[in-house]
Amino acid sequence: MQDGIANEGEKSGAGFIKQMAIDAVIFGFHDNQLKVLLIRYKHSGHFALPGGFIGEKENLDDAARRVASERTGLKDIYLEQFYVFGDYSRYDPAPFRAVVGHNQVSPPDDHWLLQRFISVGYYALVDFVAAKPTPAAIFDSCDWYELENMPALIQDHTKIVQKALEALRANLDHKLVGFNLLPQNFTMGELQKLYETILNKKLLRPAFQRKMLSLGIMERVAKKYSGGAHKAPYLYRFVPGRKTGDDTK
């Protein structure tokens, strides 16, 4: 935790806003697959989304950025708040009772982590290659998983992932968020594959290429010499500040 915020493992949760949490759906794109970062808790084996709590004197967006940064080792992460999850049916203290009550010591029923929480959902888009998944002390692991092969997740975290994917799809054209999943330089083919993977449908190459180039938000960098010169695709990069914010669908 950052300086000035109390240890979240304390019974009272001093220093944190009570019964409110953040769940972060951190997406990465690699080998033409969309992946999500998941953690596994010690003492229980439960898988979950990276999450955290909001300090009493901390901005909500800053808390989400801290959570994403701690798990990926990255700064300047693209974040979008997309939904608030508050159904009573999501309340299940069992996984956290196992985590808090290790070494055969059962936590008291009034421990703050066993109470009902409202969770604010954020999705984060990161460069898969640059990210360094980093587990916290209470995790056995922090790793990437394919969306189609995720393990069973605690509470409503599978639903949170699906909601995040819906929001990502809705913003893909309007906010051009997909560029945040690519390295600095990319080919048109890589960009199209990213769109196809997120949208889960094939796109016509000529139409897609015309559309992307017409937006005026990319510039050509150089050839990518991966074969004969006649086969080498152009490299492009996204130019910040050139997009208009208009819906490009």
- Which pLDDT does position 100 carry in this prediction? 77
State the Cα–Cα distance between residues 83 and 37, nearest whole angstrom: 18
Same-domain check for residues 132 and 27: yes
The 10 Å CB-count burial string (b at 16+, else e) for 4-38 is: ebeebeeeebebbeeebbbbbbbbbbeeeebbbbb
The 10 Å CB-count burial string (b at 16+, else e) for 138-170 is: ebeebebeebeeeeebbbbbeebbebbbebbee
Same-domain check for residues 72 and 161: yes
Flag whether pLDDT at 94 surpasses 90.
no
User: How is 61-130 classified by DSSP, letter by letter?
Assistant: HHHHHHHHHHHH--SS-EEEEEEEE--GGG---HHHHHHHT-TT-PPPTT-GGGS--EEEEEEEE--TTT
pLDDT (average), residues 117-136: 96
**Beta-ladder partners of 76:** none
Which residue matches tokens 């002390």? 137
Which residue matches tokens 């080919």? 187
Instruction: Give the torsion through C-alpha atoms of 120, 124, 30, 214, to 10 deg.
Output: 120
Question: End of a domain among 177, 198, 221?
Answer: 177
Pick the more confident residue, 60 or 137: 60
CATH of the domain at 216: 1.10.10.10
Flag whether pLDDT at 245 surpasses 50.
no
Domain interval for residue 230 = 183-238
234 part of a folded domain? yes
Q: Where residue 3 falls among pLDDT bands split at 50, 70, 90?
A: very low
Q: Where residue 173 falls among pLDDT bands split at 50, 70, 90?
A: confident
CB pairs under 8 A, 24+ apart, for 224-228? 224/187
Same-domain check for residues 63 and 146: yes
Same-domain check for residues 171 and 194: no
State the Cα–Cα distance between residues 46 and 224, nearest whole angstrom: 43
Same-domain check for residues 149 and 220: no
Collect all residues with Cβ–Cβ distance below 8 Å to 162 and sequence separation of at least 6.
none
